């Protein structure tokens, strides 16, 4: 939007116009296809060394929560759950176990995508303007011989 408002306009009008322009900018996607809100909400995920920051940040936060546990006299129904850092360590162990089980289970249970026949692409009500992948030339369908 060009700013061709005559200088004679009163300041409230200019203020509203600027606000409107600002609002317009906030939902106008840039040429690279990036939504302006993305920078505001999640720009921090593109920071340099974000991986290291997350790693050390979460590690320190976790350590802090466990240390905090030392000073709190919790009263769980189970005595073992009252031990310092039980929840944190259990959560860590459970999460790691589940994820690492993904390796053997994936090998055991994963079959080809068309194991039961071709899934037949996306449902009918998707956006017709969506980016198109390479067309499937000879689809075979589930139930076909």
Tell me which residues in 100-129 interact with other proteins (CB under 8 A).
100-103, 105-106, 109-127, 129
What distance in Å separates the CA atoms of residue 103 and residue 109, rounded to the nearest whole number?
A: 10
Pull the structure tokens for residue 7. 């200088």
If one asks whether residue 134 binds other proteins (CB under 8 A), the answer comes out as: no
Q: What is the DSSP string of 29-52?
A: PPTTS--HHHHHHHGGGGSTTHHH
| Residue corresponding to tokens 């905090």 | 68
| Residue corresponding to tokens 């606000």 | 19
Binding segment for other proteins (CB under 8 A), chosen from 4-12, 16-24, 92-100, is: 92-100
If one asks whether residue 12 binds other proteins (CB under 8 A), the answer comes out as: no
If one asks whether residue 44 binds other proteins (CB under 8 A), the answer comes out as: no
Report the residue number, 16 or 40, with the smaller CB distance to other proteins: 40
Nearest to 139 by CA among 118, 122, 123: 118
If one asks whether residue 137 binds other proteins (CB under 8 A), the answer comes out as: no
If one asks whether residue 91 binds other proteins (CB under 8 A), the answer comes out as: yes
Binding segment for other proteins (CB under 8 A), chosen from 6-14, 15-23, 94-102, is: 94-102
Contact of 86 with 80, CB cutoff 8 Å: yes
Binding string, 14-43, against other proteins, x = CB under 8 A?
Answer: -------------x-x--xxxx-xx-xxx-
CB of 23 to other proteins, least distance (A): 14
Residue 135 DSSP code? P
């Amino acid at each position: 939007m060009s700013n061709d408002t005559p200088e004679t306009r009163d300041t409230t009008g200019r203020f509203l116009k600027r606000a409107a322009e600002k609002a317009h900018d906030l939902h106008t996607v840039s040429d690279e296809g990036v939504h302006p809100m993305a920078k505001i909400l999640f720009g921090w995920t593109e920071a340099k060394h974000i991986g290291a920051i997350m790693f050390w940040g979460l590690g320190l936060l976790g350590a802090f929560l466990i240390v905090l546990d030392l000073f709190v006299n919790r009263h769980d129904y189970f005595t073992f759950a009252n031990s310092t850092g039980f929840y944190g360590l259990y959560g860590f162990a459970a999460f790691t176990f589940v994820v690492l089980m993904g390796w053997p289970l994936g090998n055991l249970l994963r079959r080809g995508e068309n194991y039961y026949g071709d899934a037949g692409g996306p449902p009918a009500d998707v956006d017709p303007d969506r980016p198109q992948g390479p067309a499937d030339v000879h689809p075979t369908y589930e139930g076909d011989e």
